[in-house]
Amino acid sequence: SHFGTVHSQVHALCSSNPDDPNSGWEYVKSKHGIKIFKKNCPSSPFIIIRAETIMAASVRETFEFLRNLEKVRTLDSALAELKRIEDLGAGRSVVYSAVKLPWPASNRDFVCENIEGVADDYGFCVGHSVQHHACPERKGYVRGHVLASGYLYRALPGDNSQCRMVFVAQVDPKVCVPTKIVNLATLHNSAALAKIRDALHKEKKRKMAELHSHSHQVLPRNPLIG
């Protein structure tokens, strides 16, 4: 199936070693602890972007955080909307997103079918564009096409409290948009990974502080015991 092909493609892109000179990845920059690479695709003018970082959270904590789409939306000012349209079961769902692009490009929106899963040491979310009856094209937005995108995260060797996150994406915005703007927008999406990482770390620290506080609460003295 097409979904199986996309899943295999994203998994291969995430699992490849960008430091291997034969991998085709070109280093772009490192910023806020995010390493960003790009790769040309012979069949498309739109580059594939790869971003990677270390998440100070377990695989399952990362998985649960990413499933909260409203929380993820608030972390990126370019995301006007991000919501789950339909739960298809077996880890599959249809997700709508609306993205603000820099002038002079028109805003874009996307409808994607995603599949996600998690185990103790491995998690993923892979998606590509689909049509859905609940998401007709909207005034003020141009419907873009996600060729392939996804997250892949694995626990660090010997440390299940952290995981290495890799994100890849290739997007066709449709209509006439300078490729440079599209590629810059894709790079922005990769940099947004830093905000997800930091927010997840902050939430984990807050939960740990609450647990620590509750475990050290002094119970009121019972006068009957003395």
Residue-wise pLDDT tens digits, 63-91: 999 999 999 999 888 889 999 999 999 99
What rounded mean pLDDT belongs to the chain?
Answer: 86
Burial (Cβ within 10 Å: 0-12, 13-18, ≥19) of residue 69: middle
What is the average pLDDT across 162-187? 73
Q: And the tokens for 194?
A: 């830093």
Give me the pLDDT at residue 129, please.
Answer: 95
180 pLDDT above the threshold of 80: no
Alpha carbon distances (Å) from 84 to 73, 88, 104, 167? 12, 10, 29, 20
Tokens of 89: 């079961």
* % of the chain with per-residue pLDDT over 90: 54
Among residues 108, 106, 117, 119, the alpha carbon closest in space to that of 58 is found at 119
Task: Give residue 34's Cα distance to chain centre.
Answer: 13
What single letter denotes the amino acid at residue 184? L
Supply 206's token pair.
Answer: 């807050």
Highest mean pLDDT among 53-62, 96-105, 215-224: 53-62
Query: In sequence order, which residues have a C-beta less than 8 Å from that of residue 45 and are 6 or more positions away?
Result: 179
Flag the least confident range among 9-13, 43-47, 99-103, 221-225: 221-225
Hey, is 87 helix, strand or coil? Answer: strand
Q: Which distant-in-sequence residues (6+ apart) come within 8 Å of 217 by Cβ?
A: none
Sequence-distant (≥ 6) Cβ neighbours of residue 20 within 8 angstroms = none
pLDDT tens digits along 135-171: 999 999 999 899 999 999 999 999 999 999 999 998 8
Q: List the one residue out of 187, 167, 200 whose CA is nearest residue 55.
A: 200
Interatomic CA distance for residues 146 and 169, integer angstroms: 8
Helix (H, G, I), strand (E, B) or coil at 156: strand
Peptide bond preceding 18: is omega within 30 degrees of 0, i.e. cis?
Answer: no
